[in-house]
Amino acid sequence: MKLTRLPIQACALALCAIAAGGALASSHREAPSIAGSPKLDGTDFYMFRSYDPARAAYTTLIADYQPDQSPYGGPNYFNMDPNGLYEIHIDNVGDGKEHITFQFRFQNTLRDIALPIDGVKTSIPLVQAGGITGPNQPTSNLRETYTVNVVRGPRRGSLGDPVKKLDGTTVFDKPTDNIGEKTFGVAPGYANYAAQHVYDVTIPGCDAPGKVFVGQRKDPFVVALGPIFDLINLAPLGSVNVPNSDSLAGKNITSLEMEVPTSCLTTAGSTIIGGWTTSSARQGRLVASPPKSGHGTTYLNGGAWTQVSRLGMPLVNELVIGLKDKDRFNNSQPSDDKQFLPYVTNPALPALIETLFPSAKAPTKFPRTDLVATFLTGIDGLNKPANVVPSEMLRLETKIAPTPMANQSNLGVAGGDLAGFPNGRRPGDDVVDIELRVAMGALCVLTTDTDKFKLGCKPSDAPAGSLPFTDGALQTPAAFPAVFPYLNTPLPGAVTQQQP
């Protein structure tokens, strides 16, 4: 099928539309509606065999929320929405539907610390009244807690069963965000504090304990975001690791993390699992007038849960879905993804790149069956379930052993590391570079003329498929810890000043 060349003006306008939706920010403000609800905005989803050598029998699930957190974001910081529902879904059958769902619900409790001011007890204006070194201390003015339930079958089919600490209790403390070193102490003060919020847990239906952590982390995503907004104002065939190219280097996010026995996620019929995360709000919300005393505005919520954010494979809503359908994609279920198929089979991004950089020739064979495999079915012989229903989600072949961190390739499968993206996703996988290359036909080159991956294309269909496209921002496995919760300590709002 002949590639239609668009006028440069049309391509520029289309690219601006993609950028306006959060291009290449891995779901940071990726759709118009969710940009107005940052507490419910999912930014990244990870799913990988745990590569801590002591935890090789486990799979780690990470759902990141609340983009663009400045470390100095006080005085309220970044609590999760107590009126929202955050979920991680697992499809272990391949039918595009959830069969295991982990549901996170949050609650804020105000201690209302007051100081005697000339005989009058006056409530303090901060979330802390002194240093904090452990969970739920008297100096913490606001306690944020959460529960986790496991639902098997349809996500709304039951209330599920609670995940429990080893002592049998079901309420977990979320650490206060990293206010600064005077509150938590100089490094490793906050790291030690946050580590007390990693819980060993019993998970209903699992025959071994798992782990849970929810808290602020340094944003793990790496991208040259500013230049990409400016009509890809960088050299896509240049070198990586350009100084100061990571636009999110100074940002934090909030992570919902679980380490689950792999055997608890798979079925007897398949070792391949699919995963994605969603957030939901009630259909109706009224603001109390006047607001009641307490922390935050009082809402009256009613009606069924309505999904407002969805994230599986990285960059799909940014780079694949048209601007007009971004909200609809966030509201949709994987089993209904047939409605978005033309965005995958006839994608706009490669044509945009070719128009802006004429030497970067877009693939010429349509429909783009290689992208269908990447985003909707899994790759044959790698992570494609038998009898799969095409549906967008992250897929992981759990029988592939985890690669030790020191041996991981940031290019994942394309770098010869079968335990990396797109076979699941690890923090150190450079998904921006990988997906730019895949969009330009890298898989058609890798499958060779024999089409060993059954992608329906060959090297000659992708003239630029072997070129090393990059955004210039280097993502590396070495930048992350090698143990759960795998993401880095969040940046502090302030550091202790050195005395002269």
Rounded to 5 degrees, what are φ and ψ at 338?
A: -60, -30
The yes-or-no verdict on residue 69 having pLDDT over 50 is: yes
Model confidence at 286, pLDDT cuts 50, 70, 90, reads confident
d(CA 253, CA 68): 7
Q: Is 398 in contact with 469 (CB distance < 8 Å)?
A: no
Model confidence at 186, pLDDT cuts 50, 70, 90, reads very high
Q: What is the DSSP string of 339-350?
A: GGHHHHHS-SHH
Q: Is 90 in contact with 273 (CB distance < 8 Å)?
A: yes
Residue with tokens 């128009």: 355
The yes-or-no verdict on residue 28 having pLDDT over 80 is: no
Q: What is the mean pLDDT of residues 249-262?
A: 97
Model confidence at 18, pLDDT cuts 50, 70, 90, reads very low
Give the distance, in angstroms, between the CA of residue 226 and the centroid of all CA atoms in the same chain: 20
Rounded to 5 degrees, what are φ and ψ at 453?
A: -95, 5
d(CA 437, CA 442): 5
What's the confidence (pLDDT) of residue 234?
A: 79
What's the confidence (pLDDT) of residue 300?
A: 74
Q: Is 214 in contact with 254 (CB distance < 8 Å)?
A: yes
Give the total residue count for the chain: 500
Residue with tokens 């029988």: 399
Model confidence at 229, pLDDT cuts 50, 70, 90, reads low
Model confidence at 25, pLDDT cuts 50, 70, 90, reads very low
What's the confidence (pLDDT) of residue 232?
A: 74
How do strand 394-397 and strand 299-311 relate by DSSP bridges?
Answer: unpaired
Q: Which of 236-245, 297-306, 391-400, 446-455 comes out lowest in average pLDDT?
A: 236-245
Q: What is the mean pLDDT of residues 383-402?
A: 97
How do strand 272-287 and strand 394-397 relate by DSSP bridges?
Answer: antiparallel
d(CA 244, CA 225): 11
Which pair of tokens denotes residue 269? Answer: 């019929």
Which pair of tokens denotes residue 261? Answer: 């026995």
Which pair of tokens denotes residue 87? Answer: 């979920």
